[in-house]
Every structure is written in structure tokens, then in C-alpha cells.
Amino acid sequence: MTSRRGCNGFLSSVLLLVANLLIPAAILVFATGFFPYKPLLPGLATFDAVTEYGEPPEAKFDKIVFMVIDALRSDFVYAKGSGFQFTQSLIRNGAALPFTAHATSPTVTMPRLKAITTGSIPSFLDVVLNLDEGDESSSLASQDTWLAQMKAKNTGKLVMYGDDTWLKLFPDTFDRADGTSSFFVSDFTEVDNNVTRHIAGELKRDDWNTMVLHYLGLDHIGHKGGPRSPRMVVKQREMDGIIRQIYTAMESEDHLQSTLLVFCGDHGMNDAGNHGASSAGETSPALVFLSPKLRALSSGLPSPLPEREDFQYYSTVEQSDLAPTLAALLGFPVPKNNLGALIPEFLPFWPDPRDQVQLLMRNARQILDIVVAAFGREILESESDRDTLTESRAAYQDLAHGWKNVTGLLGQVSNGEAAPVLIPAVAKWLRNAQDVLSSMASNYDMSRLLLGQAIAVVAFLTAVKTLAMLADDKRLAFVPLSGVIAAYGIMMFASSYVEEEQHFWYWATTAWFAYTGIRGLKRGHQSPRAQVVSTALLLLVMRIVRSWNQTGQKFAGEPDIVKMYLHTNPALLWCLIAAAYIWVHMNLVFGLNSLPIWLSFAAATALVLAAFTFKVAFTLEDAPELVTGFARGMLEMNFSKHAPLITRAHTVFIGLGILAAVVLAFILLRRSVSWSQSGVATLFTLYTLLALTQSRPTNIPLFLLYSIQYRLLASPPTEHSRRRPMDDLSPVELSTLILLLQHAAFFAQGGSNSVASVDLSSAYNGVASFNVAVVGVLTFVGNWAGSIWWSWAGWLMMMERCSSPRAPRPYEATDAAPARETLGRMPREEEKEEEEEEARKRQASAWKRHVAVLTVFAAGGVAAVMAACTVLRTHLFIWTVFSPKYLYCAAWSLGQHLVVNVGVGGLVYWLRAREHAENGWITGCAGKGF
Amino acid sequence: MPSTPAKGAAATAALSKSNKPTPSPQPAQPPSLSPPPSDEKPQPPLRPVQTKPTQLARTARHALPALQAALFLARFRALVADPVAEMSMTLPVTAALQVTYALACLPVAGSSGGKGGDEAAAAGAGAGKKTATATATATAMPARLGSGKRKAAAAADGGMRKGATTAVLSLLLSALVTPFLYITMILFGAPFLTHGSHTLLCAAHMAVLALFPLFFVRGVDGRAWAALGGFAAPLDDTFGGLVGAVVGAWLGAVPIPLDWDRDWQRWPVTILAGLYAGYLLGRVVGGTVAWGKKF
Ligand SMILES: [Zn+2]
Ligand SMILES: [Zn+2]
């Protein structure tokens, strides 16, 4: 056995490396086929490019006030009980034309603004880019938008007040601007007052032709209190007042005579007040056009309307329809990449049918250009064999056919008489084109999908082979791992299991604890009493952990521990938080106890105090309702009471950095930073503090629960229990357990496979100017804090197990006694060296085995998700369920697996091996901390 | 939050007048005073339970699972419509079927199948004797008719008396264990604040199905229960049923998250279905092909 292992040591390392390099390769290749880079038509559209329809019809407006009220769901404006009283009166008298504008998933601000301004349907990748808002590629500066067209008209300046996403999307576009950023969703008033204070002044000036306003307050109220929050109606009245202010100016001021006021939501919100996914509430924002001139179109519509479950009020249009509609109303060519269709309700503005035909034809012609750009001109000419066409090409062919009919009609009669036939025909073609092009917004590159898939499968097989070479566990030990991988793989094909993935991990982890508990009873290494008590406690803690945050899709708003006990009882919450920080403090003092006591105590106290006051100050901004007497007092008492949040965050991060550097230096200089535990365990404590800093306050007590579980699994032997539960696990089983706990912890924190559940609240801790890398790391640590915590716990458990010299392989052991006896005996000098060498080897192979297990799961998971995305690529839920899952899968395998489990894990093992060589942490007494 | 299992379990242990572990396969077990096996003198391994060799037992052994399955399927619609009402209505029926099964097929604790359960059964017998007699005569009728010879009938009559007593005691023990099964189900993810009666009834069904036959054949023999709790006992009808019930109930949770929005996905219909299916399957498989095998 050992000799074979020696020969294969190098080979297995290479194979493991290959498998881990193939995983990112597979993810990348698949992603380029799944989210293809869409060729954008460059340049600005001009009227001169298309001349065959004659002179463009006259513009109806020359100025536009475009007001985005973030997350303005349709019913907020149209339903009974809305605060938009003035708007509703305008709807009744015809001066306001209301619509429900369908927003496609992902319902996040930046992709929605892209859709609104370009008329295109942003690719799913924009969600990722939405997170790195600073990314250049997401900028629309070089694209054709109605803003660019208004600027090109050169009839006035462009001004912008509100959400600074606009400034990021349109650098150097606005002549006057004041951006507001939304770090804290608890800001309901300030963020909006910063917009409103500019309006009166701007309405007096006549040097602009475009004014963009973007209000964030309503969205923030939604995130905090949901759509039924009592503040919601108050905010609606405030917004209605601003509309009244602008509308009144439009009536009274001369230079605003032909101004169009448009206000809309960029997306809606679900019943919990969040957005990102594709429920009816999230995809149904309101869209209202206002101007006294609109009375020419209609004599008014009934308002308010009774509430509707589906949120579809008045006519439903696509959000992208806004771009061609504004183009017609304001008299500029339709932006080149637009997929929207002119809203037909506005056609009567142009009494001459030829104008109506022309507007529609120009719109259609522009969309045809996109079809041609994607498929070449031959699609219009050739009548190729239908059978050889792929499904998507067939749909394009249909479009080409339709286009021929339309142009045929146009050719027959060049005067206005054909209009009654032609107008509906073009309108129908436009809708059809919109459907086809948007449903195929992604043209999957099948060869890349299959290649990515193949690479993932190879990575999986390589990992399996490596594991088979490395592990000498009994066969039975592989059964749970195989079961988890197989079940997970199957699950990926069912949308509801993807949405409710947490159930799987909770279910499997609970079963695992029961299984190992029962097995422990059978093996009888421990007294049945100790076995039963520890298993019951593990299960109890797991039960509390799983009901901490209700997550998933279906029951996301249901009660959970956070909502029922912590939100209603901030005193309890702060007691638990304080307990968590005190616990970290104790561990930190303990982990630095080779330093002089005053120094270790002072350092630990200063750092923990800084971290705790940061948490209080942060919560005061982010969720002030949670900060009550005691915590507030804590902040007041502190000498730093006026310190800005950013300084506090810097203090914590720098403090953590210094202490980590000290611990590292000790390890590298081969000294002990703690007499009682390994330096790596001290690093674990420092990570815990980082995790607390990056976690929502309500999630901090979870780490106390995790540490109870960790203690139960790995606390050192006592007279009551000679063996720890983890000693009964074989190496593969221990890695499987870590895998289960990592996933369970992610979901317990409120994570899910929905874009809406990404927690960005801690992403900007200590960030003054935007930096993609920093924000990315902070976001990742914030969302995976528990999972990373369990990675650390796993490393420590594994390393400690390998540390005991000559301990029988516990999973092979049949009786409990020998381990202790060996420990008590003092080994001779040369024996000791041999043992150390042996222990180092054990460490290295244990680490490789651990990584191999995790790689098998990561590669298997990636392959399964890819297979699901490929097979279900035409499924209704591909963009709402499976694509987000793919992104999460990429984050799991690149972030959690490669960076944390392999990268950081490798570093930790290396450090530990160094420590090992000097301090001989082989006496197996380590790990009293935690 | 549920009370600490250990504390609660200790209470039951006191109730059942025994220091031995509470008979539950789940981790909610009381402290045991029995020392580790290695310190004891070697004991013969636990033997699988042999069903009675009579014709009646053979017939009942196959007919009863079929009957139980048929009943469950027939009442499934009603179960979906109103789980609580249906579960409380079928609980006595299931119990009656299980008692019939135990009397017809299973050896009484301490006779030949189990060991060491005698004293415990006898000690508790006095308490339940009066109520037991009525049930015993009722359930013993078919058995008496089945046996032809007078001598055998007399022996059967004595056996029946003892069997009936044991059955009543076992039912009582099953009832006592139900709260612990309930807590275990909560630990496994059953709703805690809602659906209390749903889960409790589900636990009661589990106790009557999976644990009652074990009480009947093993009594409160600590060693046997330690083996059962560690899944170290040999497979037979009773232990197979327990394993099947536990695994079936666990797998029953699988369809719940699916977005089919069917009424039968509601708690605890799938768990109960998994429980019955697993129990019956485990009992049949454990009593036939897997008989005597160990994990
Ligand atoms: Zn938004
Ligand atoms: Zn929002």
C-alpha cells in the first residue's frame, strides 16, 4: 500500500492540479457559449441612413424630463390606495398615458437602465457587471442610446440628478449632474432630497433638453419594510408632489411648452420588497407619459383601478419599447441596437397615415439591421432547406419571410391608402421580431457549450481518479459522498430544487449527523450516553441553524428566527452579538498567549472593540431600528464616537492585517505565537473576526452556533469521552462532512440561488473609491462567510488528526485505548524525528485527499449544472433559474473551491507544516481554543 | 425550543421503570448505565426474530402488509384532504392491525426470540392486566378458531394471554415513546411552531408501526435495544420494519420542495407515505431475503 502510494505521490499531485485547472477552464469556455458576447452595432443612428421612406415626421416634443423612481411597481401608481393622487387625476383627464412596462430578468437597476436607454435586452452577464459597477465594459458611452441621440441633436444640455449608476453608465455625457450613491438602504429621505433640491432651479433654466432624475428612496423602503410598509404611501405622495411640481411648470413656463415628462420604475419588487428575479411583482414596473398635449390622444382612462394579482394594469408594453417611442416623440432616429417596438397608442399623434407607416417602417428597418448583422444578408435572399436549419435559424427565417410580405405591401401602394393594412402588418412584424430576438438574446454557441461540458467531465473523472489513488478509506466511506454528488447532479435539472437548494443540504447534513451518531453507538468507542448527547446536540444546533434565515423562493417571506425573535427583540440580538465578540476576544487572547499578557490582552481588546463598535455604527446606518439602548450607549461611551464609518472599517481591517502579519511572522520564524494552540488556529480566530465584520448583524450569532458544532465534533478528549466524533470519521468522510457544512452554512446565512439574495450590505465596508477587486472580495466574504468558516474548521480538524504520533488510523481502529497510551509515553529522540517526518507526510497526503474530495464535488457539480443549462436552454426558466444557478456555481467553484479551499487551504497547510517542523505540534494537545 | 432530549428521555426511562436505554432508533436516548461491551463477559449475539411456525402466522405475515398497504392507498385521498382527522382515525386501525400481526406471527418477548425481557414484562403486567383481558379475548378469537387440536388450543390460550398482556404493554410503551419521536422529527426539520398535531400524529404512527413490534418481541431488554439503536441487530421482520420506516420517512421529505403545488405535498402526507411504504417494504424484505443479515 505505502510503496504504491510513494510511486503515485507525484502522479496524483499532477492529476489533482490538472483537475483544478480544468474547472476554471470549463467554466470559462461554457460561459462564452452560454452568455455570448453580443456584437453591438457601432455608431449613432442617423435619419440620412434610410431615405426610402421620405422625410422623417415632425417631432412632437423638444424637451424631456425622464424620472426613474427605483422599484416603482405598477400598483404603486395605479391601484386604489396609491399616493399618486395627482398622477391619477391626470390619467383620468387624459394628460397622462399609463402603461405597465415589462422588465425582463434580471430585475436589477443597471441592466434595466441599459434596456430603457438602448432599447436592447441586456445579456445576463450584466448582472455580474452590475456588481462591479466600475467596470468599463458596462459603460454605454460608446453605444447608441436615446441620451446620445438627444446630445447629438445639440438643442440643449443634458442634466442628471439621482442614482450615480447613470454617471457610471454615461461618463462625460451629462453637462450638469449630482450623483447619489446607495450604500445604505436605511436612507429613505436624504438620498431623495439630494435630487429634489435641484429641480426648482433646473425648471427655471431653458438651456437643457434632457433632464434625468433617479429617486432611490422608494426602493430602499421596499428593501427595508416591503411594499406594504407604512412609509411607502408617504413616499408615493412625495413623488407625486414632484410630478405635480414639474407638470405645473410645464403648463406655466414658456420654455417648457413642449416638454414630455416620463416617469417609470426600473423594475418592481416582490412581496418581501426585494428584486432581481422574475416574479410578476419584480417584472412589472409602472411607466407613465405626461404632457398636456397627450389630451389629443385620449380622453382619459379610469383611475384608480382595483388591485390585480398579476400587476398588469392598462396595456403592457416592453421596457425596451421606450427607446423607439421616445425617438418618435422627440424626433430622433431609433437607437441602433434597439429591440423595442413603437408603442402603438402614440400613433394617432401623427394624423397622416404615411407618417405612421414611416415611423413603424423605420423602427422595423432598424431591427432588421440587427437580424442581418447577426445572420448575414443571405437570410433575406436564400430560400434554404428548412430541415437543415437549427431552431433559432428557423425563427429568423420566419422573420425574413414576414419582412418580404411587409415590403411587398409597401411596394404595392406608396400612398396612404394601404396604411390600414400595412400598419397592423408592420406592428405585428415588430412584435414578432421583438419576441424572436429577445428570446434568443442569447444565441447559444453549442460547440462551446459542449466543449465546456466535456472539460468539466474530464476534470471530474480526473478528480475521481486522483481520489481513488489517494484515499484508502473503506468502500462504505465513499457512499455518502457519491450520494451527495449524484443527488446534487439530478437536482440541478429541477427548477424547484435549484430554487430551494437549501433543503437538500439541511436534509443531508441532518441525516449525516444521525448516521454517524448511530454508527458511533454501534462501534461503541464512546459511552452510549456521550454518543447520544453529542449527536442530539449536533442535531439540535443544526435545527436552529436551518431555521435562522428563511431562504429559497417559495417561502422566502415566511417567519424565521431572525424575523420572529431578533427583529422584534434587539436587546437579545445585541446580547448574542456581544457574546460572539467576547468569544472571539477570549480566543484571541488565548491564541496570542506567548506574547506578554498585557500585550496580547491589549491587542485583542483593541481589535475586538474596534470591530464591535464598527458593527454598531454600521448597523446604526444600515438598520437603525435594530440598534437600541445598550448598543447605542456602547457607541456613545466610546471615545471614537464621531469617527466616520469608513475610518472604523479601516481600523478593523488594518488591525486584522497587523495581527495576521504578526502571527505569520511567528510561524515563519518558527516560533510559537501561542503556547496552547497552533498559530494556524490563531489565524482562524482572526478570520472569524473578519467574518463577523462582513456579516449582517442578525447572522453573527450563527457563528456561535457553528462553534458549538465544531466543539462537539472536535473538542479534545476528556475523561467522559475518550474519542471525539471526528475521530470516528475516515478522511473522506470528514471531507464530506465539511462539504455538507460549508453548503448548509451558505444557505443558513440567507443565501440562495437567486440574484436577489446577494447580500451587498457589507460590500463597501471601508471602500472610499470604487475598486472592483476589493468590493468583489468583500462581497464574496460577506456572502460565503459561514462556508469559509467551515473550511477553516475543516483544515484544523484534519491537521489536528494527523498530528497525533503513531495514533492508529482512527477509522480503522477497533478499540479505543491505544491512542492515549501512546500519547503518555515519551518517545526517544530519533524516534521523534522519524515521527515528525512521518507526521509531515501524513499532513501532506491528508491535505491532498481533502482537496481531492472537494474537487470531485466541485467538478461534478459544475458538470451537472452545465448539463442542466445545456439540456434546458430553451426552458422557460433558463434565464430566471438556471442562469443564476450557473453564476452561483461559478462563484462556488472559483471562489469557495479554488481560492478558499485549494488556495488558502494550501497556504494554511504549508504554514502548519512549517510550524510542525519546529514546535512539534504533535503532542495532540492542541486546539483548546474554540 | 424543545426541551433537552437527554432530560426528557430520562423521564421516560423512569416511567418505564428501567435503567436501560429508551427504545428509540433515533438519537434521543437516555443515559445508560451499562458499561462498554468490552468490559462484560462475552454474550451470545442478538438473534433475529423467528416468526411463529403456524399456518396462521404464515398467512397473516403476508396478508397483513398487503391489507395495510391497501388500506393506506384507499384512504389516501382522505389523508390529503384532512391529514389530522384521517391520521387520528386510522391510528387505532393501524394499531389493531399491528396487534393482530404481533399476536399471530411474533414471539412474545422473553419466549424464544428475545431474551431478558421477561422480568420487565412481568413487572409491568400487573398494572395493565385488567384492561388487557378484554382486548386479549377479542383478538385471540381468530387464533383459537384456527387451531384444531384441543391441547394446542390450551397452550395457545396461555400464550395468548401472555401475548395480549405484552401487546398492551408494548402499545403503552409506543405511546410513551411518541413524544421523543416527535422531537426527533422536529430535529429532522419538521415544522416547529405550526403543524404540531400533524407531526405528533405522524410520530404516533411511526411508533405503532416501527416500534410496537420491537417492544413486543424484545421487551425492554437493554442490550437488544442498544444493538437496535446502533443498527447492529440482525435483520428480521421487526428490525427490517424499523429501518424501512426510518429511511422511508426520511426519503418522504424529498418531493416536498417541488413546485407542483399538489395537495399531497403538504406536511406530513409524504412523510407518512414514506413511513408506511418503507415500513412495509422493510418488514417484508427483512423477513424474507435479508433475514438474519447485518449491516
Ligand atoms: Zn433599481
Ligand atoms: Zn433595490
Helix (H, G, I), strand (E, B) or coil at B241: helix
For residues A300-318, average pLDDT: 91
> Angle CA(A465)–CA(A468)–CA(A473) in degrees, nearest 5?
165
Q: Which residues fall within 8 angstroms of residue B23, CB to CB, at 6 or more apart?
A: B173, B177, B211, B214, B215, B218, B220, B225, B228, B229
Residue A752 DSSP symbol: -
How high is the pLDDT of residue A381? 66
How high is the pLDDT of residue A326? 95
> Angle CA(A325)–CA(A326)–CA(A332) in degrees, nearest 5?
110
CA of A338 relative to ligand 1 center, distance in Å: 21
- CA-to-CA distance for A512 and A515, rounded, in angstroms? 5
Of A804 and B94, the one with more pLDDT: B94
| All three cell numbers of A772 | 472592483
How high is the pLDDT of residue B135? 42
User: Which ligand lies nearest the alpha carbon of A182?
Assistant: 2
- Displacement of CA A568 from its chain's centroid (Å): 27
Residues of A in Cβ contact (< 8 Å) with B32: 527-529
| All three cell numbers of A453 | 461540458
CB contact under 8 A, A507 and B189: yes
How high is the pLDDT of residue B163? 86
For residues B66-72, average pLDDT: 93
Of A643 and A484, the one with more pLDDT: A484
- Nearest-CA distance from B247 to chain A in Å? 10
- CA-to-CA distance for A168 and A179, rounded, in angstroms? 10
Q: Which among A522, A527, A552 has CB closest to B36?
A: A527
Does A31 score more than 80 pLDDT?
Answer: yes
- CB-based burial of residue A55 (10 Å sphere; 0-12 exposed, 13-18 middle, 19+ buried)? exposed
Element (H, E) at A10: helix A2-34
Q: Which of A10-14, A579-583, B95-99, B142-146 has the lowest average pLDDT?
A: B142-146
How high is the pLDDT of residue A66? 96
Residues of A in Cβ contact (< 8 Å) with B274: none
Bridge partners (DSSP) listed for residue A178: A161
Question: For residue A301, is it left (φ>0), alpha (ψ between -120 and 50) or beta?
Answer: beta
For residues B234-250, average pLDDT: 93
Among chain B residues, the shortest Cα distance to A528 is held by B32
Does A613 score more than 70 pLDDT?
Answer: yes
Does B108 score more than 50 pLDDT?
Answer: yes
Bond prior to B83 in cis (omega within 30° of 0): no
Does A220 score more than 80 pLDDT?
Answer: yes
3-state secondary structure A31-90: HHHHCCCCCCCCCCCCHHHCCCCCCCCCCCCCEEEEEEECCCEHHHHHECCCCCHHHHHH
A555-581 residue pLDDT tens? 777 788 998 999 888 889 999 999 999
- Displacement of CA A387 from its chain's centroid (Å): 41
- CA-to-CA distance for B98 and B113, rounded, in angstroms? 18
- The strands making up A286-290's β-sheet, listed across from edge to edge, are A176-180, A157-163, A208-215, A63-69, A259-264, A286-290, A96-102, A315-318
| All three cell numbers of B131 | 384492561
Question: For residue B261, is it left (φ>0), alpha (ψ between -120 and 50) or beta?
Answer: left
Q: Are strands A176-180 and A315-318 parallel, antiparallel or unpaired?
A: unpaired
- CA-to-CA distance for B187 and A442, rounded, in angstroms? 45
Instruction: Kindly indicate the confidence band of residue A687, based on its pLDDT and cuts at 50, 70 and 90.
Output: very high
> Angle CA(A616)–CA(A620)–CA(A626) in degrees, nearest 5?
85
CB contact under 8 A, B28 and A532: yes
Helices (H), chain B: 5-15, 55-74, 76-81, 83-105, 118-146, 150-187, 196-206, 212-218, 222-229, 237-251, 269-287
How high is the pLDDT of residue B42? 55
Does B7 score more than 50 pLDDT?
Answer: no
Q: Which residues fall within 8 angstroms of residue A15, CB to CB, at 6 or more apart?
A: A462, A463, A465, A466, A469
Helix (H, G, I), strand (E, B) or coil at B154: helix
Q: Which of A267-281, A657-671, A684-698, A805-819 has the lowest average pLDDT?
A: A805-819
How high is the pLDDT of residue A357? 84
Q: Which among B25, B186, B253 has CB closest to A543?
A: B186
Does A135 score more than 50 pLDDT?
Answer: no
- CA-to-CA distance for A346 and A356, rounded, in angstroms? 10
Q: Which residues fall within 8 angstroms of residue B22, CB to CB, at 6 or more apart?
A: B9, B12, B13, B16, B28, B29, B30, B177, B180, B225
Residue A902 DSSP symbol: I
Among chain B residues, the shortest Cα distance to A530 is held by B31
CB contact under 8 A, B27 and A527: no
Residues of B in Cβ contact (< 8 Å) with A725: none
Helix (H, G, I), strand (E, B) or coil at A929: coil
Instruction: Kindly indicate the confidence band of residue A807, based on its pLDDT and cuts at 50, 70 and 90.
Output: very low
- Nearest-CA distance from A923 to chain B in Å? 27
Q: Are A410 and A422 a contacting pair, CB within 8 Å? A: yes
- CA-to-CA distance for B164 and B143, rounded, in angstroms? 12
How high is the pLDDT of residue A247? 95
Q: Which residues fall within 8 angstroms of residue A336, CB to CB, at 6 or more apart?
A: A40, A41, A42, A43, A44, A45, A144, A366, A369
Residues of B in Cβ contact (< 8 Å) with A516: none
For the beta carbon of residue A274, count every other beta carbon within 10 angstroms: 23
Mean pLDDT of chain B: 76
For residues A858-883, average pLDDT: 89
Tell whether B187 is within 8 A of chain A (Cβ). yes
Does A317 score more than 90 pLDDT?
Answer: yes
Q: Are B170 and B207 a contacting pair, CB within 8 Å? A: no
Domain limits, chain B: 5-16+46-287
CA of A248 relative to ligand 2 center, distance in Å: 30
- CA-to-CA distance for A407 and A493, rounded, in angstroms? 44
Does B22 score more than 50 pLDDT?
Answer: no
For residues A660-686, average pLDDT: 90
How high is the pLDDT of residue B153? 58
3-state secondary structure A481-540: HHHHHHHHHHHCCCHHHHHCHHHHHHHHHHHHHHHHHHHHHHHCCCCHHHHHHHHHHHHH
Among chain B residues, the shortest Cα distance to A524 is held by B36
Bond prior to A324 in cis (omega within 30° of 0): no
- CB-based burial of residue A925 (10 Å sphere; 0-12 exposed, 13-18 middle, 19+ buried)? middle
- Size of the A and B interface in Cβ pairs below 8 Å: 99
Q: Residues spanned by CATH 3.40.720.10 within chain A? A: 61-126+143-332
CB contact under 8 A, A536 and B187: yes
Tell whether B34 is within 8 A of chain A (Cβ). yes
How high is the pLDDT of residue B43? 63
Q: Which residues fall within 8 angstroms of residue A541, CB to CB, at 6 or more apart?
A: A705, A708, A709, A712
Residues of B in Cβ contact (< 8 Å) with A523: 230
Instruction: Kindly indicate the confidence band of residue A129, based on its pLDDT and cuts at 50, 70 and 90.
Output: low
Name which of A694, A697, A687, A703 is nearest A763 in CA terms: A694
Percent of chain B with pLDDT over 90: 41
Residues of B in Cβ contact (< 8 Å) with A728: none
Cα atoms in the 13 Å half-sphere on the side-chain side of A245: 16
Instruction: Kindly indicate the confidence band of residue A276, based on its pLDDT and cuts at 50, 70 and 90.
Output: confident
Instruction: Kindly indicate the confidence band of residue A806, based on its pLDDT and cuts at 50, 70 and 90.
Output: very low
* DSSP letter for each residue of A455-483: HHHHHHHHHHHHHHHH----GGGHHHHHH
- CA-to-CA distance for B242 and A741, rounded, in angstroms? 28
* Grid-cell match 414576414, residue found: A402
- CA-to-CA distance for A587 and A606, rounded, in angstroms? 14
CA of A224 relative to ligand 1 center, distance in Å: 14
Percent of chain A with pLDDT over 70: 85
Mean pLDDT of chain A: 84
How high is the pLDDT of residue A382? 57
CB contact under 8 A, A528 and B29: yes
- CA-to-CA distance for A692 and A614, rounded, in angstroms? 11
Q: Are strands A96-102 and A286-290 parallel, antiparallel or unpaired?
A: antiparallel
- CA-to-CA distance for A298 and A287, rounded, in angstroms? 17
Q: Which among A497, A511, A532 has CB closest to B257?
A: A497
Q: How is domain A61-126+143-332 classified at the architecture level of CATH?
A: 3-Layer(aba) Sandwich (3.40)
For the beta carbon of residue A91, count every other beta carbon within 10 angstroms: 25
Instruction: Kindly indicate the confidence band of residue B138, based on its pLDDT and cuts at 50, 70 and 90.
Output: very low
- CA-to-CA distance for A707 and A790, rounded, in angstroms? 9
Instruction: Kindly indicate the confidence band of residue A30, based on its pLDDT and cuts at 50, 70 and 90.
Output: very high
For residues A360-370, average pLDDT: 87
How high is the pLDDT of residue A665? 93
CB contact under 8 A, B27 and A535: yes
Tell whether B42 is within 8 A of chain A (Cβ). no
For A399-416, letters b (16+ CB in 10 Å) and e give: bbebbeebbeebeeeeee
For residues A360-368, average pLDDT: 88
Residues of A in Cβ contact (< 8 Å) with B1: 544
CB contact under 8 A, B21 and A518: no
* ipTM (interface pTM): 0.79
